[in-house]
Amino acid sequence: MVQFFLSKASMPRAGRLISRPRLVRMFTDGVDARLVLVAAPAGFGKTTAVVDWLTHSEVDRAWLSLDADDNDLSKFLRYLWTAIVGSPSLPGRAGSGPPDAAEAIGEIVAVLARGTAPAVIVLDDFHVIVSAQVQGAVRLLLEHLPDHVRLVVVGRHDPALPLSLLRARAQLLEVRADALAFTDEETGAFLRERMGLDLSRADVTALGAGTEGWPAVLQLAGVWLSGTTATSARVRELAASNRFVLDFVSDEVLSGLPAATVDFLLRTSLLERLTGGLCDAVTGRDDGRAMLEYLDRSNLLVQPLEEGREWYRYHRLFADVLRARLSASRPDELPVLQRRAAGWYDEHGYAADAIEHALSCKDWEFASGLLAKASAAVIHAAEYVTLLGWLDRLPVVVLREDSLLSTRYAWALALTGRVDEVERRLADAEEALPRAQQAGRPDVVSARSQFALIRSVVARTTGDGAAAVAHARDALREAPADLAEDRRVLLNADAQALLGHALWAVGDVDGAMAAYRTARPLLQASGNWIGLADIARNLARLEVGAGRLRQALAECHDALGPPDHCAIPALAPVHLARAEVLHRLRDPDAAAAAELALTLARDGGDTATAHDARLLLERLTREPPPDAQHAQGETVAPLTQRELEVLRLTAAGRSNRQIATELYLALGTVKSHLHAIAGKLGAANRVEAVAIARRSGLLP
Amino acid sequence: MSQSLSCQIEVRGLLDPSWAQAFDGLTLDPSPDGTVLTCTVGDQAALHGVLALIRDSGVPIISITVRSPTQEA
C-alpha cells in the first residue's frame, strides 16, 4: 500500500546548503554517546545536518523518516526492520493480534549484534510519534542497543526518552537550536556560495540577528535579497521589523514573485510531494514541470527528492506558510484542489494518497469507491489500523449504506481482536446487502460467505470452538454456485484453513488435518504463502503430536513444493517446522534447516519465526549430534560443551569478541574458557590448542 | 546551551506524583484548580517536549507561563 516505501527507509539526498564542518565535528566527537538528540524547531536544518555528517562518515546507517502513520506499532516495527535489515518486511500474520514489541526489538538487536562496525540508526521527524507503544519500543531499542550502534533521534521537540539518565551517564549528545543556528560566518558563506550575494560584514551581522540564524528563514531572506541591488536597505528593513520574522520574509518573497508563480505555489501547496503531471492536474495549467524546474533553478523554494528530478517537495516551513495563505485567501478552492489531486493519484496507482485527499475534500462517493477498490489489499497487508482510520473518517450513514465497506470494517475489527464491535458492522452489511446486490456490484457476490468467515474468526478468538467450526462450514455452504473460478479458490482456501483451525481447537485432529490438506493446494494456487505457511506448520505439529515424524517431514516438503518456492521468506515457518522435526529425528541437517529458517525470517521481517529459529539454533549448538559427544569421551581431560563450542569457533577463525556475540557470553567468560581449554589440552596458546584438538579428533 | 527557560504550567485536576519522573526536574504542586507543574528547560525544543508530554496525556491546560531568568530578575 505504501508507494514511497523505499524513500521512507533511505537517507534523503544531501541538500544544497553549505557544508558545516563545525556541526560534523560535533557529531563525530560524540562517538561515545548511545543517543544523539537533534532537537530544534522546523527549518533549523536538522535533517540536513545529520545527512551532512553521515555523508562525511564511514559508519553504517539505517534511516527511517517517520510520519503520522507510524503511530501504528506494527507499521513502525516493519519500517524499522526494513531500515535496519534492508529487506522489506512481510505483513503480520492475519489475526495474530497486536505485534510483540519486545520480541521484534529483540530480533532487531540480534541482527545488529552480528556486526561490529560502528553504525547509526536515524529516526527522523520523531516528534510525529505520539503513540506510547511506539515510544516504548524505541526506549526498548535504546536500552538494548549493542555498543557499536548509536541511535539518532531527530525532531522538533524533546522525545519521551530517558534523557536525564543518559545525560548523567554522559551517553547523550545533544545538538540543539543554538548549535544548528547559522553563525555570522556561515550566513555570509551561505549567501555568497548559494545565492551569489556578497553582503558587507555589518549586513551579515544584522541579518543574522534579525533571523536569529534560522536557516530556512535565511534561505527565504536570500531569495528576497537577491531580487534587488539595494540589499543593505532591505536588511535594515528586516532588522527593524517587529513582525514574526517568518511572516515578514515570506510576505516579501511572495510579493516579489510574478502573479502566475504565486498562484502556482498556493495551488500546489497542499501536495506533500510534487511532480509535473500532478501539479498540472491540480492547477489546471500545463506548466507544472517547467515551473518546478524554474523554482529548483532560480532559488531554494523546492527540493528535488531524487537524482532524476521527477519529484520535489516544498520546504516544510514554506509549505506551511503557503497552506495557511491558501486557506485564508481562497477557502473554497481547497476542496476542489484536493479532489483533483485525489483523481490524479488514483489514475497513477497511488491508492493511499488518493484516499487521503478524497477523504480530506469530503467527496464521500469517490472516497468510498477508492476504499472499496483498495481495502482488500490493505487487509492483506495487515494494515488494519490504517484501514479503520480511513473508514472512521467516512460519515456513519455513508459507511452503513455500503455493504462491502461495512464487511471490510468487520474484517479489520475481527482481525485486530476488537470482536465486540464486529456484529454491529455485520448487521449493517447484511441490511445494505440487498441494495448492493440489486445494483449488481460484483464485489458482494460472496458476501454471505464473508460474513460467516468473519464470524468464524470471532468465535475462535472468543474461544467458542464449536461456533467457529459451524461458521466455517456455513461459509463453504453459502459459496454461490456462479462464483468465478479465481474467487472460488480464494474463498475456499480461506474457509478450509479457518475450518482446520476451528476443528483443531475443538480437538478434532483428523478433521483439522483433512481441512488443512484441502486448503493446501488452494493456497498454493492463489499464491497465499502466509496462509500456506500457517497450515503447513500446523500440519507438521499435528503429525509430530501423533508420533509420525516422517509424515511430519513430508508435510513440510509438500508445502515447500518446487525448489524455487523454498526461498520465499513467507515460508520461513515451514522451514522452522522442518528443522524442529529433523532435530527430533537426530538428523544432522537440522541445523542447516534452522539456519535457513532464520535467514528467511530475517529477510521477511518475521520476527516471531526468527526468534524461535534462533532459539532452536542455540539449542542445537548446545546439543551436538551423538558422534561429537562420542569424540569428547576419548579425551584425557574432557572439555565441557561450552568449551567445545568456544574451541570450534576459535578454529573457525573467530575473534574473542565475535565468539562472545555468537554464544551470548561476556568477553571475559570467553577468555576464561580459552584459558581452561589451553590448560586441559596442555597448549601454550589458542593456535596450539586448535592444533592439539584436531590431532586428538576433538575437532574435524 | 542557550539561555534556560523556567516554565509553570497549571493543569486541571490533581496529578499523580509519579509524573515528576516523566521529565527532567519536573516538580508538582497542588493549586486551587488542579496542579502546577514547574520545570526549567534548556531551550524551546525542550519546552515543547514538556508540552507534548502533557498533550499526549490529555490533561487540560489552564495556564502557561514561561520566563527567562533575566526577565525574572
Contacts of A166 in chain B (CB under 8 A): none
Q: What are phi and psi of A38, to 5 degrees?
A: -115, 100
**A519 pLDDT exceeds 50?**
yes
Q: Are A284 and A204 in the same domain?
A: no
pLDDT at A539: 94
* A221/A307 same-domain check: no
Structural domain of A219: 184-255
Q: Which domain-ending residue is among A235, A255, A275?
A: A255
A313 and A241 in a common domain = no
Residue B42 sits in a domain whose CATH number is 3.30.70
Question: Please, are residues A505 and A460 in contact by the beta-carbon 8 Å criterion?
Answer: yes
**pLDDT at residue number A417:** 83
CA dihedral sign, ordered A568, A570, A573, A574: negative
A38/chain B closest Cα distance in angstroms: 10
Amino acid found at A390: W
Q: Give me the residues paired with residue A63 across strands.
A: A122
pLDDT tens digits, A110-127:
889 988 888 999 999 999
Q: Are A287 and A194 within one domain? A: no
What CATH number is associated with residue A14? 3.40.50.300
Average pLDDT over chain A reads: 87
Asked whether residue A369 is assigned to any structural domain, the reply reads no
Spatial separation of the C-alpha atoms in residues A255 and A524, rounded to whole Å: 63
Contact residues, B window 10-49, toward A, CB-based 8 Å cutoff: 22, 24-25, 42-49
Residue A244 has pLDDT above 80, yes or no: yes
Residue A123 backbone dihedrals phi, psi, to 5 degrees = -110, 100
Amino acid sitting at position A339: R
Does residue A214 sit in the same domain as residue A302?
A: no
When pLDDT is cut at 50, 70 and 90, the band that residue A680 belongs to is: confident
Residue A628 pLDDT level (bands cut at 50, 70, 90): very low
Residue of A nearest to B2 (CA): A178
Grid coordinates belonging to A386: 490504517
Average pLDDT (A12-36) is 84
Residue A5: closest CA among A64, A71, A73, A93: A64
Task: Looking at the complex, report in whole angstroms how far the Cα of residue B34 sits from the nearest Cα belonging to chain A.
Answer: 23
Residue A172 counted as domain residue: yes
The Cα A20–Cα A271 span in angstroms is: 30
Mean pLDDT value across chain B = 82
At A155-173, the pLDDT tens digits run 999 998 989 889 989 999 9
pLDDT for B2 = 56
Whether the ipTM is more than 0.85: the answer is: no
Checking if the pLDDT of A649 tops 80, the result is: yes
Instruction: Count CB atoms within 10 A of the CB of residue A684.
Output: 9
Q: Are residues A55 and A89 in the same domain?
A: yes
Asked whether the beta carbons of A34 and A119 are under 8 A apart, the reply is no
What pLDDT does A58 receive?
85
Which residues of chain A make contact with B43, given a CB cutoff of 8 A?
A: 39-40, 176-178
Give the containing element (helix H, strand E) for A660: helix A656-663
Report the alpha-carbon distance of residue A465 to residue A475 in Å, rounded. 15
Nearest by CB to residue B45, choosing from A130, A132, A156, is A156
Cβ–Cβ under 8 Å, residues A362 and A336: no
Residues A76 and A161 in one domain: yes
Q: How much is the pLDDT for A88?
A: 60
Whole-number Å distance between alpha carbons of B12 and A695: 78
Cβ contact (<8 Å) for B52 and A130?
yes
d(CA A99, CA A45): 34
pLDDT score, position A420? 93
Q: What is the DSSP letter of B21?
A: G
Q: Look at residue A294 and tell me if it is in a domain.
A: yes
pLDDT-derived band at A508 (thresholds 50, 70, 90) equals very high
Beta strand A312-314 with B61-67 is unpaired
Other C-beta atoms lying within 10 Å of the C-beta of residue A533: 28
> Which pLDDT score is estimated for A573?
93
Cβ contact A119:B8 at 8 Å:
no
A271 and A235, same structural domain? no
Domain match, A42 and A136 both: yes
Sheet of A35-39: strand order equals A60-65, A119-124, A149-155, A35-39, A172-176
Compute CA A175 distance to the chain's CA centroid, rounded to the nearest angstrom: 26
pLDDT for the residue numbered A390 = 93
Q: Which amino acid does the sequence have at A165?
A: L
Q: Name the least confident of A313-317, A525-529, A687-691.
A: A687-691
Alpha helix positions (H), A402-446: 403-415, 422-438
- Chain A within 8 Å of B53 (Cβ-Cβ)? yes
Residue A691: the pLDDT is 75
CB within 8 Å: A130 and B56: yes
Phi and psi, residue A398, nearest 5°:
-65, -45
Residues in chain A closer than 8 A to B25 (CB atoms): 164
Give me the sign of the Cα torsion angle A417, A420, A423, A425: negative
Model confidence at A12: pLDDT above 90: no
Q: Residue A638: which pLDDT band, with cuts at 50, 70 and 90?
A: low
Per-residue pLDDT of A384-421, as tens digits, reads: 888 898 999 999 999 999 999 999 999 999 988 889 99
| Structural domain boundaries enclosing B22 | 5-72
Three-state SS at A164: helix
**Which residues of chain B make contact with A159, given a CB cutoff of 8 A?**
49
How many CB pairs below 8 Å do chains A and B form together?
A: 54
A446 or A93: which carries more pLDDT confidence? A446
Question: In this predicted structure, what is the pLDDT of residue A287?
Answer: 94
The Cα A480–Cα A437 span in angstroms is 13
Which chain B positions have a beta carbon within 8 Å of A155's beta carbon? 45
Closest CA to A538 of A563, A502, A564: A502
Report which of A235, A229, A232, A275 is spatially closest to residue A252, judged by C-alpha positions. A235
The pLDDT assigned to A89 comes to 61
The pLDDT tens digits for A566-610 are 788 889 999 999 999 999 998 889 999 999 999 999 888 888 899
Q: Note the pLDDT tens digit of each residue in A184-195.
A: 999 999 989 888
Between A103 and A566, the higher pLDDT residue: A103
Give the highest mean pLDDT range of A179-183, A529-533, B16-20.
A179-183
Mean pLDDT of A378-387: 79
Between A257 and A36, the higher pLDDT residue: A36
A174 and A208 together in one domain: no
Do A322 and A269 form a contact (C-beta atoms < 8 A)? yes
Q: Which residue among A255, A282, A306 closes a domain? A: A255
The CA-atom distances, in angstroms, between A258 and each of A247, A264, A266, A496 are 19, 10, 13, 66
Please check the confidence at residue A636 and state whether its pLDDT lies above 70.
no
Yes or no: say if A167 and A178 are a contact pair by the CB < 8 Å rule.
no
Mean pLDDT confidence for A666-688: 76
Degrees, nearest 5: CA angle B47-B49-B55: 110
- pLDDT of A245-303, one tens digit each? 888 998 898 988 889 999 999 999 999 899 999 999 999 999 999 999 998 887 667 88
Mean pLDDT value of segment A528-553 = 91
pLDDT over threshold 90, residue A183:
yes
Banded model confidence at residue A17, pLDDT cuts 50, 70, 90: low
Q: Which residues contact residue B29 at a Cβ distance below 8 angstroms, ignoring those fewer than 6 apart?
A: B35, B36, B38
Provide mean pLDDT across the span A425-444: 90
Residue A534 lies in a domain: no
Amino acid found at A65: S
∠A392-A393-A395 over CA atoms, to 5°? 90
Output the CA angle A185-A191-A194, nearest 5 degrees: 120
Instruction: Check A178 against B47: CB less than 8 A apart.
Output: no
In a domain, A148, yes or no: yes
Domain count, chain A: 4
**SS3 of B10, please?**
strand
Q: What integer is the mean pLDDT of A129-152?
A: 93
Among residues A271, A300, A331, the one where a domain terminates is A331
pLDDT digits (tens, 9 = 90+) for A50-86: 999 998 888 888 999 998 888 888 889 888 988 888 7
Residue B44, all three cell numbers: 524551546
Instruction: Report the pLDDT value the prediction gives residue A99, as an integer from 0 to 100.
Output: 67
Query: Do residue A92 and residue A219 come from a single domain?
Result: no
The number of domains in chain B is 1
Which among B24, B43, B53 is the nearest to A177, CB-wise? B43
**For residue A633, pLDDT beyond 60:** no
Q: Give the closest residue to A499 by CA, choosing from A486, A516, A483.
A: A516
Mark whether A287 and A230 lie in a shared domain.
no
Residue A2 has pLDDT above 50, yes or no: no
pLDDT at A637: 53
Asked if the structure places residue A323 within a domain, the reply is yes
Measured distance CA(A368)–CA(A374) in Å, rounded: 10
Q: What pLDDT sits at residue A16?
A: 65
Asked if A40's CB is within 8 angstroms of B25's CB, the reply is: no
Residues in B closer than 8 angstroms to A157, CB to CB, are: 45-49, 51-52
